[in-house]
Structure 1
Amino acid sequence: MQLIRKYNTAAPRYTSYPTVPYWDEQTFDIDTWKQTLLQSFRATNHTEGISIYIHLPYCEQLCTYCGCNKHITVNHGVEAPYIQSILNEWELYLQLFKERPRIREIHLGGGTPTFFSPQNLHNLLSRIYLHADLLPDATLSFEGHPNNTTKAHMLTLYNLGFRRMSLGIQDFDPRVQDIINRIQPYETVEEVTAIARAIGYTSINYDLVYGLPLQTMASVGDTINKVMQLRPDRISFYSYAHVPWVKGVGQRRYSEADLPKDEEKRALYELGKTLFAENGYTEIGMDHFALPHDSLYQAWNQGSLHRNFMGYTDQHTSLMIGLGASSIGDSWYAYTQNEKRIAIWQQLVNSGQFPVVRGHILDTEDLLLRRHIHALMCSFKTSLSQADRENNVIAECLQRLEELEKDGLVHITEDAVSVTVKGRPFIRNICMAFDARLWRKLPQSQLFSTAI
């Protein structure tokens, strides 16, 4: 418990390095970013292929816990114009590449992708496929809300090559569902899961969140026992990020007095971890659990797990294109984020402009530190070469790890840094030791959610 109090500080989730608040936007320019896109595309299109993240931001109601970029509306007339704008943005990339992309991965995120009708999703994806080659082993996945993910949605996406579906469950306790404004009965989730399996989906993920308002050990235990009856192939068990200063009115529906505190919140995670293990799930990296037949487990077991802005994936691509308002892209040598405001994003792409509003060009040090943080996040271990040991920046990182080593969270040898079993819950703190940009400019206000 002393370790929880000591290390429950604000910490990034490290889907990238540098993290978004530390991007050097002053030195970023669009032309250099385009050059890095072409460099990565030419080097990897015929080997790895590319990943595409498509942000579909609309939701019919506000879930108060949500930290995503979303737009609340019941007007489905927004669907077709938004899709046409995504296709216009895709055309800008096709013109830049001048060669058919080979797609290894597509993820539809949100918002709520199943806000869009099956026909509109078909129109979007079939037109993206028209000028690209879908690799035979491509991984295609989408996020769905159990209340509006219909059989027609699942059949349409299955026929387009999708085999992975992620459902946002969060919690089955009616009191918790009410306060976070996400009412979805167990029977609804059961039905959607059964339909997906009957259609042929091979990997179903449930998103669960611990640390939500009004959660207790008993309620979380009950939720997980219900989940075990449905036995999803993967489970994402996320720590609730309470950041009302960022997300505003939604997270102000309740106060911190309603939230489980440090030790209590950690106990919720340990309860989940124990119940998952008892039911055959293996902990994968940070926040994820999978059954042995699932490809995420196999990638973890084989040492090929990858992490990017979409989270953990069993596919490795250096180039990830982000389409849609607020989407983030990664050329491996640079990051970009699109305009968040939908109307302005549409104006930009519809007038033939890349809708990038900020970005970061990675320097040599960034690439080095990202390699170590990525390795720690994906395998709980990173190797140290002779060049690393002679590098002053890495020496500073190792010095910052000394306190964590004393606490038994990491083991440092001449050629590696390894996270101990005891240290796995503190992986965000461990990666922070390699975050040189953060340490050079410590935030004056809280930028990140707490690590526990």
Structure 2
Amino acid sequence: MSAPTLPSMPATTAFDRRALADFRSLAGRIDGNGPRYTSYPTADRFEAEMDDARYLAALDACRADSPAPLSLYLHIPFCENICYYCGCNKIITKDHARSARYVDYLAREMAMVAGRLGERRAVMQSHWGGGTPTFLDPDEMRRVMAALTQHFHLLPDGEHAIEIDPRRVTDARMALLAELGFNRISLGVQDFDLKVQQAIHRVQSYEETRDVVLAARRLGFRSVSMDLIYGLPHQTTERFAATIDRVLTLRPDRLSVYSYAHLPHVFKPQRRIDEAALPPAGEKLDILVSTIEHLTAAGYVYIGMDHFALPDDDLAIAQQAGRLQRNFQGYATHAGHDQLGFGVSAIGAVAGHYVQNARTTDEYYAALDEGRLPVARGFGMSVDDHLRKTIIGALMCHGTLDIAAVEAGHGIDFARTFAPELAGLDALATEGLLRRDASRIDITPLGRLLVRRVAMVFDRYLRQDAGREVPLVRYSRVV
């Protein structure tokens, strides 16, 4: 599929103070719940009709596209302790017999997928998530990496990342990660305030986190990322700013600052959180605005949504070069690669198909025992989906859309195809979120803070949910 050439975005750390002030007044009125667009269509649209046979066909199509490099995601679901805020697919245990068995099945899944691809494909990006991937003991980690390198070629100049819990990682374990070929680590921090940590059942000292960062620097890791969460119990603007100050002493290359979504009816551990201690909506918004001001003043580039990076980090460089993309880990550095997902609940994106594995180990093991890939659900993209994904991706990653390039790449008349969407954009333009003419759409600094609200205009499934008829693009020059 050809795609429009994406413009570069200058790496600037200054953020428009007027935009932040306008965001305060607009956000409560205009920024409701909506997708994060780590995929389009979004995961809530996946269907149970996606089965092993359709995934195998997608892998055959991916094989025909070789030798294009791939991205890989491995889901390691185990954690020793539960964090009350967490909505991840996880297994709380201290029993390594369970993880040892899981590693065996993970290797079997890799062998089945790689066998279908027919050759040892190059991998530009790999990411181990969870759960807590460093739950695995050193022997288990070596076995997983051995299976990966047996079936795939992890490119040495690629990005190979792992999520770690600083409370469970020693200098020896950090040395092992470097030996295994990881060059980027992502640390869960959430908040350094002890009262907040106690309320979410995750007490983690600054010193534990600092020691891991220092080890990563000493061992030559290319990038250190930290995850923070705002909206947790007992947080205030002042107290979260103190956490940001402590984070800045460690100078991580990337930061993700996620909004806590309190959904105790969906995630049972959240029922242990005292709702009365959660910051009110106005305070939560103030925390976000203060954090953006704080980080950009300290030299971080606001990448978009909840991501920040130093100007010389690969993420900021990718945005400048027009290579930034959204995938299931958020913003990523290389566009256009098929992604294979391994492990329970892992999601892949292969040859125009999204594929998600079974969510429980019992279902996952049963499928592999029967010689089937453990597919639970997925989605086959249409021509219309591909087109809208291109548009949403350009807006989310680069803040601009070259309409002529989209028309040339997809063989459409943009104004005719998207007449209702353009009317929706005009309404957002009156709020100051964007500027547009016949040739391009440009997101304003204010619009960057509400970019998913702009992207939602092009989501045909949301429009259908709202009862609006949406013409379907069925044909174009490229698929």
Q: Secondary structure at the match of 1:280?
A: coil
Q: Indicate if the aligned counterparts of 1:118 and 1:152 stay in contact, CA closer than 8 A.
A: no
1:40 partner amino acid: C
Q: Secondary structure at the match of 1:235?
A: strand
Q: Does 2:144 correspond to 1:112? A: no
Q: Does 2:318 correspond to 1:299? A: yes
CA RMSD of aligned residues (A): 1.7
Per-residue deviation, residues 373-417 of structure 1 (Å, max 9, x unmatched)? 111111112222345544655222222222211100111221222
- Show the 5 A alignment for 1:132-143: 132-143=152-163
Q: Does 2:91 correspond to 1:71? A: yes
Per-residue deviation, residues 30-70 of structure 1 (Å, max 9, x unmatched)? 43332222223332x323x1111000001111111111111
Correspondence for 2:6: none
Correspondence for 2:392: 373
Q: Does 2:454 correspond to 1:433? A: no
Q: Distance in 2 between matches of 1:151 and 1:346?
A: 34
Correspondence for 1:424: 448
Equivalent position to 1:121, from 133, 141, 145: 141
Q: Deviation of residue 442 (structure 1)?
A: 4.0
Q: In percent, how many aligned pairs have the same letter?
A: 37
- Show the 5 A alignment for 1:378-393: 378-385=397-404, 386=407, 387-390=411-414, 392-393=416-417
2:152 partner amino acid: A
- Greater Cα shift, 133-142 or 182-191: 133-142
Correspondence for 2:29: 6
Q: Indicate if the aligned counterparts of 2:191 and 2:228 stay in contact, CA closer than 8 A.
A: yes
Q: Distance in 2 between matches of 1:377 and 1:150?
A: 37
Q: Indicate if the aligned counterparts of 1:410 and 1:419 stay in contact, CA closer than 8 A.
A: yes
Q: Which stretches in structure 2 are left out of the alignment for 5+ residues?
A: 1-23, 468-479
Correspondence for 1:172: 192
Q: Secondary structure at the match of 1:157?
A: helix
Q: Cα–Cα, structure 1 residues 275 and 372, in superposed 2: closer, same or farther, change >3 Å?
A: same
Per-residue deviation, residues 112-131 of structure 1 (Å, max 9, x unmatched)? 00111122111111222023
Q: How many residues align?
A: 439
Q: Indicate if the aligned counterparts of 2:123 and 2:152 stay in contact, CA closer than 8 A.
A: yes
Q: Indicate if the aligned counterparts of 1:41 and 1:319 stay in contact, CA closer than 8 A.
A: no
Q: Deviation of residue 372 (structure 1)?
A: 0.7
- Greater Cα shift, 363-372 or 128-137: 128-137
Correspondence for 2:167: 147
Q: Distance in 1 between matches of 2:412 and 2:266?
A: 37
Equivalent position to 1:362, from 366, 381, 400: 381
Per-residue deviation, residues 403-450 of structure 1 (Å, max 9, x unmatched)? 21110011122122221101111112111111111210249xxxxxxx
Q: Deviation of residue 170 (structure 1)?
A: 0.5
Q: Indicate if the aligned counterparts of 2:52 and 2:372 stay in contact, CA closer than 8 A.
A: no
Q: Distance in 2 between matches of 1:436 and 1:343?
A: 36
Q: Indicate if the aligned counterparts of 1:4 and 1:262 stay in contact, CA closer than 8 A.
A: no
Q: Deviation of residue 19 (structure 1)?
A: 0.8
Equivalent position to 1:22, from 45, 52, 55: 45
Q: Does 2:414 correspond to 1:414? A: no
Q: Indicate if the aligned counterparts of 1:122 and 1:157 stay in contact, CA closer than 8 A.
A: no
Q: Indicate if the aligned counterparts of 1:348 and 1:354 stay in contact, CA closer than 8 A.
A: yes
Q: Deviation of residue 315 (structure 1)?
A: 2.2
Equivalent position to 2:334, from 290, 315, 326: 315
Q: Indicate if the aligned counterparts of 1:22 and 1:438 stay in contact, CA closer than 8 A.
A: no
Q: Secondary structure at the match of 1:397?
A: helix
1:178 partner amino acid: Q
- Show the 5 A alignment for 1:144-223: 144-223=164-243
Correspondence for 1:395: 419
Q: Does 2:231 correspond to 1:231? A: no
Q: Distance in 2 between matches of 1:169 and 1:18?
A: 30
- Greater Cα shift, 28-37 or 372-381: 28-37
2:380 partner amino acid: I
Q: Distance in 1 between matches of 2:413 and 2:234?
A: 48
Correspondence for 1:448: none
Q: Distance in 2 between matches of 1:393 and 1:56?
A: 43
Q: Indicate if the aligned counterparts of 1:24 and 1:361 stay in contact, CA closer than 8 A.
A: no
Correspondence for 1:265: 284
Q: Secondary structure at the match of 1:142?
A: strand
Q: Deviation of residue 24 (structure 1)?
A: 4.3
Q: Distance in 2 between matches of 1:10 and 1:327?
A: 24
TM-score between the two structures when normalised by the length of structure 1: 0.93
Q: Deviation of residue 109 (structure 1)?
A: 0.2
Q: Secondary structure at the match of 2:355?
A: strand
- Show the 5 A alignment for 1:234-253: 234-247=254-267, 249-253=268-272
Per-residue deviation, residues 276-322 of structure 1 (Å, max 9, x unmatched)? 11211111122111112211111111111121112211123431000
